[in-house]
Amino acid sequence: MEVLGIDIGGSGIKGAMVNTETGELVGERHRIETPQPAKPQAIAETIKAIANHFDYKGKIGCGFPAVMQNGVIKTASNIHKSNIDVDANKLFSKVTGCEVNVFNDADVAGYAELKFGKYPDFKGMALFLTIGSGIGSALFYKGMLIPNTEFGHLFMDKGLKCEHYASDAVRKKKEMSWEKWGKRFNEVLQYLEFIFSPELIILGGGTSKKFDLFEMQLKIKAPVEPAKLLNQAGIIGGAMLA
């Protein structure tokens, strides 16, 4: 079955048709800049533009950078505050004329990676992190997703949230070398490892493509791997969960 998956990010909204049996993209990805300010109606119009681009009328699955409960947006750290308490499933479905189902972006990306990545039958505790404007998290135990974990918002002992200390946005803003940023990110991983003892950590988001530039700074016990699906995991997971 071919389903439209959409990944809503702080800087871009990306969609592609996905074969839900194989987890592969069918054709090219289509990307539109995230409207600024990223208010709910503007986001909905962008989703509609992506659906129109593919001349698509079926179900759509989206990853969204916030806590999502039954399609309702509950937080807004890297998006406009007016998104809070908006029923995204309802609004996006109304504007697009398609049935739209929205989930947390890290949850959908992690879901795709654990299904179609390097460890499809991983039964232990697996932690998936996306590194971008923020740090998103998805925790899996015996293949089951515990949604909306939001580990990027845990405070480090420096009084900063993990995502304010070592997201990709922080790396860019402070013009850090990969070595310097990698050391910071390693501290985040050490902290999360101490609390959750994951047996596998997978890194997604754009930064996963640069894994070899900071891999040597990571000194934790659990194996750490870049996501096999790279930054397409959000689109694929969205389509899977649609």
Using CB under 6 A, list all residues that contact ligand BGC.
Answer: 65-67, 75, 77-78, 104-106, 130, 132, 134, 136, 150, 152, 163
Minimum CB distance to ligand BGC, residue 57 (Å): 28
Type of residue found at 85:
D
Other Cβ atoms within 10 Å of 28 Cβ, number:
10
Closest CA to 54 of 16, 20, 24: 16
Minimum CB distance to ligand BGC, residue 105 (Å): 5
Q: Which is nearer to ligand BGC, 98 or 152 (CB)?
A: 152
Q: Can you tell me the distance from the alpha carbon of 118 to that of 62, in angstroms, rounded to the nearest whole number? A: 23
Q: Which is nearer to ligand BGC, 16 or 67 (CB)?
A: 67
Minimum CB distance to ligand BGC, residue 180 (Å): 22
Q: Can you tell me the distance from the alpha carbon of 154 to that of 169, in angstroms, rounded to the nearest whole number? A: 17
Residues 6+ apart with CB under 8 A from 194: none
Quick check: bond before 37 cis, omega within 30? yes
Q: Can you tell me the distance from the alpha carbon of 231 to that of 206, in angstroms, rounded to the nearest whole number? A: 6
Q: Which is nearer to ligand BGC, 152 or 238 (CB)?
A: 152
From residue 110, alpha-carbon distances to 131, 148, 156 in Å are: 12, 12, 23
Q: Which is nearer to ligand BGC, 67 or 126 (CB)?
A: 67
Q: Which is nearer to ligand BGC, 107 or 187 (CB)?
A: 107
For 53-89, letters b (16+ CB in 10 Å) and e give: ebebeebbbbbbbbbbeebbbbbbbbbeeebeebebb
Minimum CB distance to ligand BGC, residue 21 (Å): 27
CA angle 198–187–139, rounded 5-degree value: 25
Minimum CB distance to ligand BGC, residue 55 (Å): 29
Minimum CB distance to ligand BGC, residue 185 (Å): 14
Q: Which is nearer to ligand BGC, 98 or 112 (CB)?
A: 112
